[in-house]
Structure 1
Amino acid sequence: MIWGRDRQLNITIGRAGFWDHRGGNEFTAGRPSGKTTYQDVKRLLQAGDYDGIKRAFAMPKTGDQGFGHPQQLGGGRLEITLPEGWTLKRGELDMGRGEIVIVALSSVKTEEHLVVKQAVDAELTEVQLPKPLVNSSTLSVRLVPASMFTKSQLEKSGVKPAEDWSMAVDGGLDGFQQLLPSDDALTIGYAKRNGNIYVASEVSKKQSVVEQLLTGVGQSKRMINTTPQFWQEYWASVPKISLPDPALQEIVDYGLYKQACVSPPQGVAAALQGPFMEDYQIVPWSNDYHFNINVQMMYWPALATNRLSHFGPLWTMMRGWMPTLKQNGEAFFGRKGALMLPHAVDDRCRVVGTFWTGTIDHACTAWMAQMAWQHYRYGLDQPDAKQVLTDMAWPLLVGAFEGYYAMLEEVPGVDSSGSATGGKRFSLPISVSPEYGGDGPNAWGRDASFQLAALHRICRILPEAARALGQPIDPRWADVDKRLPLYTTVKGVYMSEWNLTNERIGLWQGKDLDGSHRHHSHLAGIYPFATIDLNNPAQRKIVDNSLTTWRFRGAGGWSGWCVPWASTLLARTGQSEAAVNWLHYWKDNFTNEGRGTLHNANNNGNSIMGAPDWTKEKQNREIMQLDGGFGALNAVLELLVQSRDDGIYVLPGLPRTWRELSFERIRTDGAFQIGATVRDNKVAEIRVKSLAGGALRLVHGLGEQYQVNGKIMQGNTLERSCQPGEELILKPI
């Protein structure tokens, strides 16, 4: 992060993966007599023993707890103070080359450029100085550890201030090492070489890599010089999108750029803030891995943008967790093969905090199973597709199902009027809707719609995955899918002023959405799990009713990341103008002047999320999270192309104000790439390329009669079997 004023340029240096792991909690480790089980939770909640629940999920008091939870820590700040008479004017990001140009006005009023470059495969940055500053004795450079700003917080947690170190080599080499009580240290150093400034970092027990990078100038220069090729190849692979809306165009362009920075194949799995950690404060929420939407939202765009390799660090990390997930699931559910992924963990899959509703949120496991399955389906042409299916998607799918199956019970079936049907249906007696009710005594209920949608999605994927792997079909999958409700509904007044009533999706049995809430979890059957058939009139009526109530409840309690999700829900239900408007609202209210994507609003007037008086807040005034930006990018992609169970939809709800637009290379389920051109608010052409071959079902919207590669076709859906590499051009007649 680069910022500054007057003549001081600041470069904040963060390093993803610098963890103080102390205080990590084993899954449900708080129960004195042993591990807490699902049956324990069920018994305690149904008995109203909330104190028992708190004890069951409390953190054990053992030894040095550090911050009380695992915590990622920031790095430091490089301060470059220009000579007297110089002034910083502006900064320009060249996204095509991954470079930042800082324009300064010299003492003789000439414009001079400082260019900041970063290596792709090494933790190395180069600051190229303009000629007047190359040998300047009045240019000041200082490397400041983050511990200088957070000393009191660190000391209370048993972390000592960073230690300075230097090497007496040509030009000098200075830096610091931030030691931790139980983990590897973070080393950051800098050196001036040939008129430029080089900065390097590493997390290890020694600073050997930093020394090598800063003393081997020729090697460092070669590493820096490979960066433009990386960016050239990156931009050639991602979709090319041209929109008539400047705000959404920036969401696309900057989102794609940030994706390469945050989750590259050679990097660290993306956490809430990734490497973009402040130096002046301890980052909130540990910069951990939140699996009740945040991680998923950060990786959504990788599917459609042809960057499936970005999943690599995430899957590598989770493969290492598999024994822990198995231990969690089998102990908690008492069922062989069950897996359990808590909602907030560190990079070792240790639970962060004592938020019991998140710890037992089994949809986290199901959601990552769906994402691994999507990676396989979108990447059928990729050489690692079968491996992802075999060692990630399949165990997660089976593990999620086995956990849910242990939770299910059979209850008398009822119809929509509440009358008994005489049969039996499945039910989840204890279930949660993410973050609703916090971790209080009323934060749970029977048949949470979020959990029902997650389980249905798993039941529908499993037979496809089994066929792809040659595994037997378990009849329980279809049985649960058939006898489990799609969602839970509530009936009655939702607006008392006009006495408006309807039947709508509830959070769980008897629980309505009774206010504005950031997690649209009860609507997950629309997206991301897409278990509701929007073409079914009865289901569509329930969806429309639910959106009406949700809209009435308002956005006052929304955080930054949930606004793009709201946009996607509207795009999926054909309300594209509203989807576009919410993205404008997000950009205006949940980003800052540096295009940082914020959890809390950037003002006092739109959301209660944040401090009571934003203008007076000193710490955590701007809580940056990466999820909102990637959610916004995904929301734009959803306006253009949607992969659904019943086909690929191209521009399903073209906004009436979008007169001219074009896009190329948007990847879909089944490994197809889609492009399209719009002229005068009408689709002029759709382009399809099959990367892997196979069945194509394309809902094109061109009308009942259209042409494919010059041949006239009938119907509003194109169905055909494609060959690998086959290309189709659809045009209206």
Structure 2
Amino acid sequence: MLGSMFHQLDNHTIRISLGRADVEDHKTKGQPFIAQSRLPNGYFTLKTAGKITCFEGRLDLYDAEARARVVTDKGQVEIRGFVHSADMVIVYEFMPSGGEAAMRLDFVPLKAIAPARLQAENDVAHKGDKAHPSRKKWASAPYKYNPDPELGVLDGYQICRQTLVAGGGTGTAWTVKDGRDGGQRLFISIEHSHPGSTAVADAVAHLKAIEDESFASLVQRHRDWWHDYYPKSFVSLDDTRMESFYWIQVYKFGAGARKGRAYMDTMGPWMVEETAWANGWFNLNTQLSYWFLSTANRLEVAESLFTKLDECLPTLVANMPESYGGDCAGMSTIAPQTFVSPFPSGRLGFTGELLWTCHDYWLMLERTMDAERITQKFFPLLKKSVNTYLHFMVEGEDGRIHLPETRSPEYGGGEDCNFNLALFRWGCRTLIQIDERYRINDPLLPKWKDVVARLVDYPKNENGYMVAKDFPFAQSHRHYSHLLMIYPLCEINIDQPENRELIAKSMDHWINYPGRGNAGYSWSGAAAMYALQGDGEKAGKYLDIFMRMQELYPDNPAEIHPTTMYTETNRVQPVTETPLSLCDSMQLMLLQSWGDTIRVFPAVPKSWRNIAFDGLLAAGGFEVSAVRKGGATQFIRIKSRAGEPCLLKTEMVPARIAGIEKSAVRQMPEGRFKIDLKQGEEAILYAEGVEEAIVEPVAAKPENCNSFGLNERYQPAK
């Protein structure tokens, strides 16, 4: 829930930024991305006595701590910081020496103003009539400013109170205590409340709760969660750069989301005061962020979104206009942590947001096979999401079911929009699958079957899939929403020979369309789609393009930074989803489980000769581990958590089988093996000459170690 960043401001100042993921405004009027925006609370400055001459630091992923040394011409300050994994507390330790014993630490309160509003006001102030029309519109729109922050003291703790005109507010509390060897320790807590005004008292209570605990105990409890989190699964490969990138994203999600707390929006818990995207966006951003977590077995952080969907179903229903009859659920593109996001009456451009999010939820449930959760929580949510489409679908003169004009995110739309057709078809098929498996016998089952049978085909032309009927894809654009049936839904896939050429043509037309429309997640999406086609070389190519985007496309407005953070819109607007989405692309190269088949190493480039993964999850409730050495698979281990049918595809011809009877494994056509596994059973398939199933790290390439961070390896794009 809490986050912090620190960086140098000038020759004497280090800024320590603070953030809390649910600090949002709650206004009911105005543009949602401003009226319900994330809000800043404040930051600390560390003023050095001398001029800063050197800085060195490291983010320790395993212990989730930042450590740095700031050198000045009068001495130095050692800094250690962490955001506690269990308690709502941010901790910094400062160890000054020499003339830096005179360093000064100050809190700088910030006005609780929407970052998009502030950005627009500053843009107009600096550019005048030359400011972008959208910024001028945002800056001039009616806006009720929240009161100025108030500083004070409560029960001996320093506090900052930010009251909101919509009710409630944010409280920041802090205290500085003497540390070891003459150092100082800064303890900070941030709370938010609405509509009540308990935030300041709640923040102070968090600090009181730890005031009698030893520092060593506080640190150890922090580390315990992280040391348990990382081993949930393991990935290692001889592309050391990509392996490092992967683990940094695993760290980010552990830092930015947790069951029962906030879901990961476009900023996570790291606050930026000026950006147009200080919200949760559901026309792509949130969905991309969460894709990799289910396969990666990072379910506790995945639950940050899915448990919230369960809890907020009444709100999602209330978002719909009364004309929808109370049996539909939905939301607009932007949704705060509360999911209060009214569906615009009479506008169907936001139809797919919730249903697409349901697909992320389903990816997890396919891997856990939690029957109670599927039937009691997910099924009602999915049903009400699909009901929205049943409400406005139309029957054409051709006897087919059509959709009226809807939109493909950011691109435009029309009748029979592929983005919505794909989600509608997937939603109905999934409802049928759940109903028939668990014998629910829902009254709408015949209706869903009718939709699947008569829903119009996806509009296409000589270049592949279109955006909508009479609306070709004819402009370079970062979104691939018109290809949702290929990825991530896999409704159209390589196991359908009649569609292979169409898939290839559609993908090529989108990703290679002339122009500057592609962004970072365009290349991660292309990598994923090529992985789904079994093309490891092209998948690897687009991973590399992503990592080198500034070098290869210097005019592109997107940038991946040395921290692996990402910005768009002239490289100044921060968003979290794109680096996270790359993890799904990587995992699809190692393991796929769409349809009825688990595919191990389905799209590995030749350069990835050595790979190891352990504890990844596959649809059907399977836990999978595998090792590849010298370009050949050594073994595959599959454990069944649910007793589902298991069909495995691998290029390896098993020479030996352990864990179950050899007769339980039957070879099928096209490299597939049917494995009869009961719940709790495990099978290990060995290649010729392999004696043990050992997963261990692939040797790192020294020249690719420490590929990230501001070090001698980092060469910024010119």
TM-score bracket for the superposition, by shorter chain length? 0.7 to 0.9
In 2, Cα distance between the equivalents of 1:377 and 1:406?
28
Q: What SS does the aligned partner of 2:548 have?
A: helix
- The structure 2 residue matched to 1:363, chosen from 326, 343, 352, is 352
| Structure-2 separation of matches of 1:551 and 1:180 | 44
TM (norm. structure 2) is 0.81
Aligned pairs for 1:566-585 (under 5 A) are 566-585=526-545
Residue pair 2:521, 2:581 contacting (<8 A) in 1 also: yes
Q: Could you tell me how far 1:348 is from its partner in structure 2?
A: 3.4
- State the match for 1:349 in structure 2: 339
| Equivalent residues of 2:175, 2:187 under 8 A apart | yes
Check whether the contact 1:560–1:597 (CA below 8 A) recurs between aligned residues.
no
Compute the displacement of 1:566 (Å). Answer: 2.4
- Give the counterpart of 2:110 among 138, 143, 146: 146
Paired residues for 1:80-479 under 5 Å: 80-84=46-50, 87-105=53-71, 113-130=78-95, 132=97, 137-147=101-111, 157-166=144-153, 169=156, 173-195=157-179, 196-204=185-193, 205-206=197-198, 207-214=200-207, 217-219=211-213, 221=215, 222-237=217-232, 239-278=233-272, 281-285=273-277, 287-329=278-320, 331-333=322-324, 337-351=327-341, 360-380=349-369, 385-413=370-398, 424-437=399-412, 444-472=413-441, 474-479=445-450
SS at match of 2:473: coil
- Counterpart in the other structure of 1:667: 617
User: Given the alignment, which residue of 704, 709, 722 partners 2:658?
Assistant: 709
Structure 1 letter corresponding to 2:337: D
CA shift in 2, pair 1:647/1:318, >3 Å: same
Native 8 Å contact 2:57 2:68 kept in 1: yes
Match of 1:564 among 521, 524, 533: 524
Structure 1 counterpart of 2:672, one-letter code = T
Q: Distance in 1 between matches of 2:92 and 2:144?
A: 35
CA apart distance, 1:488: 1.1
Which residue is 1:723 aligned to? 678
1:328, distance to aligned residue in structure 2 (A): 4.5
- Secondary structure in 2 matching 1:127: strand
1:20-55 CA deviation, whole Å, 9 max, x = no partner?
111457xxxxxxxxxxxxxxxxxxxxxxxxxxxxxx
Against the structure 1 CA distance between its residues 635 and 305, is the aligned structure 2 distance closer, same or farther, given a 3 Å change threshold?
A: same
Give the gaps of 5 or more residues in structure 1. 26-58, 60-64, 414-423, 438-443, 492-501, 601-609, 612-620
What are the equivalent positions in structure 2 for 1:66-85 lying under 5 Å apart? 69-84=35-50
User: How far apart are 1:270 and its partner, in Å?
Assistant: 1.8
Correspondent of 1:18 among 14, 23, 28: 23
Question: How many residues in Structure 1 have an aligned counterpart in Structure 2?
Answer: 633
> 2:275·2:574 contact (CA, 8 Å) conserved in 1?
no
Counterpart selection for 1:3 from 2, 7, 13: 7
Change in 2 beyond 3 A, CA 1:164/1:88: farther
Q: Tell me, what secondary structure is at the counterpart of 2:267?
A: coil
Compute the displacement of 1:570 (Å): 1.8
CA RMSD of aligned residues (A): 3.0
Asked if 1:598 is matched to 2:558, the reply is: no
Structure 1-normalised TM-score?
Answer: 0.80
Measured in 2, the distance between the counterparts of 1:388 and 1:532 equals: 28
Which deviates further from its counterpart, 143-152 or 462-471?
143-152
Q: 1:250, CA displacement in angstroms?
A: 2.2
Cross-structure match for 1:497? none
SS at match of 2:241: helix
| Per-residue CA distance 1:102-127 (angstroms, 9 max, x = gap) | 12336687x76321122122221222
**3-state SS, counterpart of residue 377 of structure 1:** helix
Instruction: Using the TM superposition, name which of 551-560 and 253-262 deviates more.
Output: 551-560
Is 1:510 the equivalent of 2:470? yes
2-structure distance, mates of 1:356, 1:176: 43
Deviation of 1:85 after TM superposition, in Å, equals 6.2
Inter-CA distance 671–592: structure 2 relative to 1 (3 Å threshold): same
User: What is residue 686 of structure 1 aligned with on the other side?
Assistant: 636
Q: Hey, what's the Cα distance between the residues in 2 that align with 1:558 and 1:183?
A: 41
- Measured in 1, the distance between the counterparts of 2:582 and 2:51 equals 42
User: Which whole-Å CA distance do the structure 1 matches of 2:482 and 2:262 have between them?
Assistant: 32
Distance 2:487 2:672 in 1: 22
What is the CA distance between 1:354 and its match in structure 2? 7.2
Change (3 A) 1:693 1:554: farther
Q: CA deviation at 1:140?
A: 0.5
